[in-house]
Structure 1
């Protein structure tokens, strides 16, 4: 098992993970990151506007090993 730390940001606040998650491999860390971004958008989106949701993954040494950003630009057209 490998320990990964997920640091999410919703465009207004960043959260540095201190507990970590034990996962079998890097592919599992990637899936967990993309799932968390999807959930962040669903749970936190306000109507209209632009937001960027980001997650950085660190390894046990604290090095950034993966990052993903999901940008959302939405609103009603006239």
Structure 2
């Protein structure tokens, strides 16, 4: 299976990891202060908000998740 045929290409997975798990920690990375509790709270809240919103959407609108999963197959 080539990258174009896979459900989630490597590029998409890397983008997801960067946006969801690395971007919330940018304030701590920039300031070099890992003891900054407000930044930790922001990072945790951001990650939880992402996860919870996806869980709610998956439960209420599974067809929407299926449609969004096929975004690479869409024709312009």
| TM-score computed with the length of structure 2 as normaliser | 0.29
More strand by share: 1
Whose Rg is larger?
A: 2
Q: TM-score, normalised by structure 1?
A: 0.29
